[in-house]
Structure 1
């Protein structure tokens, strides 16, 4: 149970992430004292950054701290998955990204997904029979994946944290901090 000031957090994203859903957790977790690394697949266009999506157009680039092949669940205390439509759709087709997500799920460490990022939890078979939320347009996807859908700012089920949209970011980050400080959860049956 590390204090957030001693925690190491991995944010997994690629081009097309929702700008605020990466930057707000990154900045608030850093402000709380956590070491935060942005990790991205090597297949991205720019080898130094990934580009966000803001409103109806591309946002600004964010520096990548590590390439996906160089990141390991064993180094980190939690995983954060920002949303946007493009980012999680690209990541759910990336076997290396899914393997990393599944390793966090199997470890019992907190995994947090916002907006469209619960698509990644569906792909990792991590939400069947669990309470969760996500962006309103993926509600049916989550229900079809066996989720007990909740229309709430933040929903947590055994350390799996989900939120709906950028309006929920304060609650999302607060719950991430709480879950990191609570420690691991027994959910070894997930992501087998």
Structure 2
């Protein structure tokens, strides 16, 4: 009966809601089953463990965020990449809270399942490739200091700019974009900066 009433997506949605409300630690098999009014057995029919579900949720959230970021880098628009974070936060407030207020280790304690480890590795490689591409385009090469600048301007500044708003569960105001853009231009320059 549980198989026909509750989908894989239903369990992920329940876990996402619980985590957004009270953090990943609040996501337990019992809490998910209670939220869905589903038998616990239907959870284990779809997921090997709580960690498997939470790992899948975290990875899906990261990949959803990264999609727009990667597109802007591939289009050669570094400023749009820096501004992707507040735009994505506004459109995905609960997912943004999961992604930017917690680390992946808050979702899975210990060993990740093999498929999720592979997904995390691929996601990390994709992000690092984007930073290298941006560093070469903006600073002329992709050495250690250029990648450090790229990380700062594309990831750290935007994350810091939206974090306090996420903690208050509020949409970042337009001023956040202005601050990110000002910082971006100061580091990268009005056009393509050189190293």
Is the shorter-chain TM-score for this pair beyond 0.5, marking a shared fold?
no
- What TM-score do you get using the length of structure 2 for normalisation? 0.25
- How high is the TM-score relative to the length of structure 1? 0.25
Give the structure with the larger helix fraction.
2
